[in-house]
Structure 1
Amino acid sequence: MIRCENCGHKLNAGQKVCDVCGRPVPARNTEDAELEEQLAKSIAQIVENETSDAQVYLKEIQGTLDKSDSSRKQAETGKRDVLGVSQRSVASQAGSARKNIDYSSEQPLRRQSTQTRNSAQMRNSAQTRQNTASNQNTRTRQNTASDNRRYSEEQERMSAKKKNKKNNGGKIAVIVISVIVAVVAIVALAFFTINMVLKKAQNNFAYYNNTGIEYVQNGKYAEAVPYLEKALTFSESDGKVNLRFSLYDCYVATDNTEKAVSMLYNILGVDEYNLEAIVYLENYYENAGVTDALVELYNKYKDTAAAAAVQKYYVEAPKISLEGGKYTSTLDIQITSDYDFDIYYTTDGSEPTTGSTLYTGSIEIGDGNTTLKCIAVNGYNIVSEVVTAEYEVEYKQPDEPTISPRSGSYETEQLIVIGNIPAGGKAYYTLDNTTPTDKSTEYKGPFDMPVGNNVLSVVTYDKKGLKSQVVKRNYVLTLTDKVSQERALEILWQAMEYKNMVDSQHRSSDGEPVSLVLDEKKTIDGHSIWVFNIIVSTEQGDMKANYQMGVDSNDSYVYTVYENNGVYTLDEVVY
């Protein structure tokens, strides 16, 4: 095939001028044409060999793909076929085939034969020139000019021939380089195609699953992780629990706790009641002290088909000592729990939690309706079922108290006694006809009947706080005074001098006059008291102070008297 040296257009044999660019076509000798034809055949042979080799290799890869499909089907029935071995064998064979390809050609050898022939021609030409020179010496001088001209023409022809051969050598170098570039491009294309085929052969569930399992069986857990994770991205992994457990084992072996826990939940997403996954989770949460997650896990599965997995955390409900019902007295309730678990309770009917009242001892249930609810809680904050008991307690009012003596007028001293006080209860009384409460004077035992006209009112309270009806008695006690008014005045002045409240002239410590004025005789705290107003005046007659003191009309004791809203009380004994 001949092409124009200027534009590369294909030329016909014997064409003198390029019909594209118009450049004259140089004459070509037969040896150059043969050389180029041989190079073209060599290039064609190399391309054909590479193409054939690539086709063979692609067929081998296709066979590997067919085997991969078959392996995938076997994997679905439980058989294992670790991919990659046959591929590596085919690749090795293909590599060997490529190594056996002889990229050399007969070109160097042919190029050497051409050079030999050229050298022979040059030697023949030289020999001819020598013979011509010898003949020229015997020619006549008339032929000398003609011979010289022919010699010059021969020299120019030889020079042009050498120049053409030099140009042909450059063309051959370009052709050889082009062949090398073409071969490299073919090999690169073949490698790229094979690599794509291999990637396609490996981009499937069976390849990643089987490769990962093989690593796991060999104890190479870290190497198995990326393959098993990739296998999970294929739809064929749906529902495959064993694959997920294999990946879980890899995470555990490589101390990737976060991913291990996540994989257990992934397993439960596929198999909701997988006992093994639940047990692994609860053991992790228990050892890590993550009680909230453990409680959530327990509550989720305690009433399901997976209840056996969380059975060890079950908490027995607490026991209440007294059943619910109707009662007429205060109740003392005890609550117990197995293994001394903490107990929390409520008495208002609300649901108990770990924030409710902690049981520490007996619970008192009083008058009215009470709903007791309680739970037991173990060390993981897992609670039992709620136990409920409803109580209706209606107290019986205490009986009325008894009082002696009966109402009446008396001229001698009398003791007042209050009886029929409930067991564990108390009695309270007043002497001024007011209604007694638990804030009034508490009855401690028999006491003297006060002098004068008094109304005694008594009430009792039982230990439940229930009170009786109020009982009243009216007493009029008139006694002959042992201490007269005059004698009481004298006793009071003596007591005030004794306490240095006045001097013998009845003046205060400031020298101001003091006077005593009788108020009246009053019954105060059961005592008959002569009450006097103590008045301190200035020299100008202005009142400086006014207070009261009293003298008992029976035993002559002197008291300080206080009045508050009409109620009189006695303080300490002054004299």
Structure 2
Amino acid sequence: MRCTHCGANIPDDQMVCPECGAEVQIVPDYNPLEDVIAREVKGSVEGATRPMQTDDIRRYRRDSLTQNVNSTRVLSQSEMDRIREKRRKGRKSSPEAEELRRNSRQKQQAQDRDESMRHRQGTDEIRRQRQGTDPAVKRQNTADLKSQRQQKRLEAAKRKRRRLLIALFCVIVFIGVVIFVAYQNSYTGMMQKGYRALQNNNYNAAEEYFQRAIIKDDSRPEAYTGWAEVYIDQDDLESAEDVFLDVIETQPTNAQLYQAAIDFYIDTEQQDKISALLNDCEDSSVLSAVSDYVSAAPEFKPEAGTYNEVQEITILSDTGGTIYYTTDGTDPTAETGTEYTEPILLQNEGEFEIRAIAVNANGIPSVVSSATYTIEFPIANAPAVTPSTGQYTEPTQITITVPDGYTAYYTMDGSTPDPSSSTTYQYSGPVDMPADTQTIFNAILVNNNNGKATDVTTRNYITTE
């Protein structure tokens, strides 16, 4: 072997270098088993432990015999004592050599102690690693174990969450299918199918869908509106109107149906029928719900009847609005009627029929109301004429008494007075009686209002001198 200091060859039986005098360092024999054990322990800590096999140990021992031929040989204690004794006998001791050997022994002993300590520490390290008692390793193992457990918990939570999401998705899909099926067969679903059929001009299918919706809920107005639109699209407004009138007859307290019917009349420009519909309603809650469309029919004062004098007719409406009327017996409208602004004066004899409507603020006309008035002025008696019939010898004047509202007419040739005749005179004051002749004097009164004439008053005058 060679000296580690100067590199000189040292005989096998010597413990000191013959060149530099350095003592041969004795080191523990290399044990490959310990390397194997250390690697196995380290592998177990890193999660890659591989069990030790007997064949591996034998192979390491066999390899060590061939690989460490030139390594420092380890001597037993008896061999070391024998060699040292031989050296002491074969060599002369000197103080320097003795001091050198002593220092070498002390140094060797210190190195042996250090090596033994390291060996024990390595052995304890291996033992702790085997038993898992090394604090750092134990902490690392504990941390790794916690990390593994945490990872497993996270993975388990992910799997659980994934399963829950899948289950929730399935439940949502199932509920969606149920809702879709239920919706398709619901009132709203039937309505949508009906309108789709109506858009495609499939009137029979549309009518069937709307009727099926009515079966599901006959109190809602939408299905009746859709059914009516089937007829409206075919220009059959009468049948469309019957849809509402028939159901209102069976549900007279359903305000929604009344509103739907009103909307139908407005959309088809038949506002004049709204008041007729509401006039037949006796439910106050319905009338309150559709109060914006109520237009009360006008009332007349004085009431209809026969009167013998001029009359002023007043027209009123409880719901206000604008009043239109006619006096020729026709139904008034906002376009054809006369707007009522002041009382109507009936100053001629005859029969008069007044018809009127009231149009409220929303443009809804009321039903037509009417009143008939008959004006018959009384006929006065035949006029009083003075002097009476007789023979007169002195000039005399003839006088006719004329009441208010009348005009007197007379003739002096015996004919009946006629205001349109040239032989008839209008009385304006006393008339001179003709002299030396016989005169037939006839007189009448004519009513200034109706032109009716009274009976004739006749006087026969004879004058002589």
Normalised TM-score (structure 2): 0.41
Higher relative contact order (CA 8 A, sep 6+): 2
Indicate the structure with greater strand content: 1
